[in-house]
Amino acid sequence: MAGPVCLDAVSSFRFAPRYRGLLWWNGGVQLAFFLLGALALDEGNMFHLFLYASLAFWAGAGLILAWRPERPTRWDLYYLKYGLIVLSLFCLNLFPLAWWLRGIRF
């Protein structure tokens, strides 16, 4: 049986101020990509593409925030600024290959 959870450790967890603007930026980019994906008339395929890319991005962002919450490196900031866009473009180019491997030709 585990003891009581110390909420002081959770509430005192702080991030570097440089992270805050990048996280808001990625929230806006993700919202824009989801809206574009939802408007595409392809039976939700584009929406799922952006969903998988954003899940991969936020998994990496979560690891960065957990490992270096107060001292981000230059590469951490690059990933948080451009990672969602790069992963989305990578998935967008990988998308036709996945369908081709399934045997569906466009």
- Tell me, yes or no, whether 3 lies in a domain: no
C-alpha–C-alpha distance, residues 93 and 59, integer Å = 21
Select from 87, 83, 64, 81 the least CA-distant residue to 22: 81
Tell me how many domains the chain contains. 1
Which structural domain range is residue 42 located in? 16-101
Average confidence (pLDDT) per 10 residues, the chain, 106 residues: 53 79 92 89 82 92 91 93 92 81 74
pLDDT on residue 29: 93
For residue 5, what are its two tokens? Answer: 């959870």
- Tell me, yes or no, whether 39 lies in a domain: yes
pLDDT on residue 13: 67
In degrees and rounded to multiples of 5, residue 6 shows phi and psi of -85, 110
pLDDT on residue 102: 81
In the numeric block, the tokens 């990672």 are attached to 83
> Which segments of 1-106 does DSSP mark as H helices, in order?
7-11, 17-39, 45-67, 74-101
- Tell me, yes or no, whether 4 lies in a domain: no
- Tell me, yes or no, whether 63 lies in a domain: yes
- Tell me, yes or no, whether 9 lies in a domain: no
- Tell me, yes or no, whether 2 lies in a domain: no
DSSP code, position 102: T
72 neighbors 18 (Cβ within 8 angstroms)? yes
- Tell me, yes or no, whether 6 lies in a domain: no
pLDDT on residue 93: 84
State the maximum Cα–Cα separation within the chain, in Å, rounded to a whole number: 57
Single pTM value for the model: 0.77
